[in-house]
Amino acid sequence: MNPRAAHPPQPAGTYTVAQGQLLTQQSSTAGIGDLLIAADYITRLFDANQIPFAFMGGFSVNVRGSQRETHDVDVAVGCDMHKLLMAVSTQPDRLLRPLGPVSGVMRIFIKGENEDGLSSPYVMVDLILRGSLGAPDHLETESEDVKAGPDLGDRPFRLINLPSLLQSKLGAFFGRSADNDMADIIFLILRYPEEVYNARAALNQEHRQHFINKLAVTRDVPKSQMNKARHALGIPGPALLTR
């Protein structure tokens, strides 16, 4: 008996752990045009399956005007894992999903196609269920349509709202203190100073303090930016490095 015959073939539209590592490396070359193709695909797929969703993470900050380079897309999803799996299993020629079980976050890879018919790189997309990695619990009331600038097609995208985005970014920065999260938070403070100030009381105080502490010891941060960040986040006075 051939031992290989005992193993069923890998289902179409899935990837293994090893394949996922390779796909992640390949997706690091994705540019903003590729992310837009993936975002359009997700929008059509979820609208067709009546799944509430909103973009979050670095891509959503790009839609709001940031020029920081990002290579993936994060999406908050308002359904359970079973319904999500049913939706992403419908088009194995364009979308790869994990072969094994997942919980809270499903990482998929979307194969894009340009207007000239040429294939573009796979784009890594994290589908994040409510309550995981800063995804809002109530997408219906915690999302908004934001019109992107000409570089992104001069059209609206469904994003998690500013308080939810700040909460998720501050939470991510508290956990890993990554430079990209700091850059995104600074951008949001400078772009929406009044909105951030009005939302400050709803944001985790420890996360706000941690951000200010780190910002205070970061080189090349203008004093004016430091003062604006303190004011907007409601953290007055000198910061003490506690973490």
Q: What is the pLDDT of residues 26-59, one digit of tens each?
A: 999 999 999 999 999 999 999 999 999 999 999 9
Q: How far is CA 203 from CA 100, 168, 182, in A?
A: 35, 9, 16
User: 42 with 57, same domain?
Assistant: yes
Which residue, 136, 160, 184, sits at the end of a domain? 160
Backbone angles phi, psi at 149, to 5 degrees: -80, 180
* Mean pLDDT, the chain, whole residue set: 91
Mean pLDDT of 119-133: 90
Q: Dig out the tokens for 217 from the structure.
A: 């010891």
Mean pLDDT of 143-170: 94
Which structural domain, as residue segments, surrounds residue 112?
1-160
**Is the Cβ–Cβ distance between 232 and 189 less than 8 Å?**
yes
Has residue 5 got a pLDDT over 90? no
Has residue 218 got a pLDDT over 90? no
pLDDT band per the 50, 70, 90 thresholds, residue 239: very low
Instruction: Please state, in angstroms and rounded to a whole number, the distance separating the CA atoms of residues 201 and 182.
Output: 20
Q: Give this prediction's pTM.
A: 0.90
pLDDT band per the 50, 70, 90 thresholds, residue 6: low
**Is the Cβ–Cβ distance between 229 and 192 less than 8 Å?**
no
Total number of domains constituting the chain: 2
**Is the Cβ–Cβ distance between 225 and 182 less than 8 Å?**
no
User: 35 with 129, same domain?
Assistant: yes
